[in-house]
A and B are shown apart, each in its own frame.
Chain A
């Protein structure tokens, strides 16, 4: 069964460093998402991506964040200069083309720890 994969499973970084979180969505999906979950809090939407551009983003997704689909298979989230409060679990999700059942398929997450 196709699945969304994410790497790494755990990333530890120093405050101020850049991190790139990687996701491989399901191959025929066209909509891509990043969510995050700070420990003990709810899952929050960060950004959606369609047709090689951002379609929607939340207030959390400021200039320190960027997304890219560099090669038609990977979908990345970059944080340019990490802060302590960026420590969270980051989930990637993908969805099939519009008009189909709108289930999002989630990856297992990357736990980001900023020291």
Chain B
């Protein structure tokens, strides 16, 4: 079956540091890949997506590139802010599935200090 593996957290960084959160996946077919973010006390929000190999998703300074050869979708940001402190989830939706079930990674807690 499908699965998503994220790097273990928590991750603690100083403001303006570079962020990488690793995500690898196992899937049949051609999945779409997502990063969701959960701020304290809130629901999951879509951060960015990529629907096919070599696509780069980007939003709010975050980027991730769909790498089929390494089955990865690592999240990066060049300079993090305190407001980026949240839980980040990598997820996939198997391409061609009509109903859109998402398979999530375990989540990575990011804390950014001033």
Residues on A close to B: CB < 8 A?
4, 6, 31, 33, 35, 41-45, 48, 50, 55-56, 91, 93, 95, 98, 101-109
Contacts and interface: CB of A to CB of B under 8 A. Distances in A.
A108 B100 CA distance: 20
Contacts of A108: 41-43
Interface residues of B, number: 23
Secondary structure of the B contact surface, majority rule: strand
B73 to A, nearest CB: 16
B101 interface: yes
A43 B99 contact: no
| A-side interface mostly | strand
Nearest to B46: A103
B93 A42 contact: no
A103 B49 contact: yes
A106 B98 contact: no
Given A4-B43, A106-B43, A108-B43, A42 B107 contact: yes
A43 B92 CA distance: 12
Given A4-B43, A43-B89, A109-B43, A104 B105 contact: no
A103 B59 CA distance: 14
B106 A31 contact: no
